[in-house]
Chains A and B, each alone.
Chain A
Amino acid sequence: AQSVTQPDIHITVSEGASLELRCNYSYGATPYLFWYVQSPGQGLQLLLKYFSGDTLVQGIKGFEAEFKRSQSSFNLRKPSVHWSDAAEYFCAVAARPGGYQKVTFGIGTKLQVIP
């Protein structure tokens, strides 16, 4: 079964600073990988996804993530954080091939942005 580890529960960065959120996955084959963002009391918004091809994936809001098979990682990055980026970020993995059900989420990383 697949699993996702987000080692950082809470991260604080200054506005304008760079950001990297870590994600490690466990799955026997090449997985589908996602990063979602959740604002308080809201649903999830997809930031970006990796299915295949270029291992550096560009997403919305200036985010990018890099798939590194050798490290089983899919870290999320942003060069300059804005105050509006404060939210909870979830890394997720979906099994493939076969069914698309049972997307597994990491525990989430809460991002705090200070002026």
Chain B
Amino acid sequence: GAVVSQHPSWVICKSGTSVKIECRSLDFQATTMFWYRQFPKQSLMLMATSNEGSKATYEQGVEKDKFLINHASLTLSTLTVTSAHPEDSSFYICSAPGGGSGMYEQYFGPGTRLTVT
């Protein structure tokens, strides 16, 4: 089946620094990937849609200058949290839709736990 990986699985950074999270589709190409954020004991909230070769589409209320998304290839999307603050601490999950008949099914990465101190 389709596999999506994320790196790193967890990261601790100091307030004011930036951190980059990678999302890779390992055995399929993904022109679109999605980034979600999950606070403790809450559901996943879509942050943005990452589009290969073009600008990401951000959901309402998500600061695009703070959460930089780059989809440089058909298998890689990156999310950079700039000038991180403790309130950015969260679980970030990416996903990619399957192709063909599976286009409505998303394959999720294992997530990245970000802690900002």
Contacts and interface: CB of A to CB of B under 8 A. Distances in A.
B43 A108 contact: yes
A105 B111 contact: no
A106 B38 CA distance: 12
A96 B111 contact: no
Interface string A10-49: 0000000000000000000000101010000111111001
A100 B111 contact: no
Interface SS, B side:
strand
Interface in A79-106: 90, 94, 96, 100-106
Interface residues of A, number: 24
B105 A43 contact: no
Contact of A44 (B46, B93, B113): B93
Question: How large, as a class, is the contact surface on chain B?
Answer: 20 to 34
A45 B42 CA distance: 17
Interface of A: 32, 34, 36, 41-46, 49, 51, 90, 94, 96, 100-108, 110
Interface of B: 6, 32, 34, 41-44, 46, 49, 91, 93, 95, 97, 103-111, 113
Given A45-B108, A110-B41, 12 more contacts: A32-B104, A36-B108, A43-B6, A43-B108, A44-B44, A44-B95, A46-B105, A49-B105, A101-B32, A101-B34, A103-B95, A104-B46
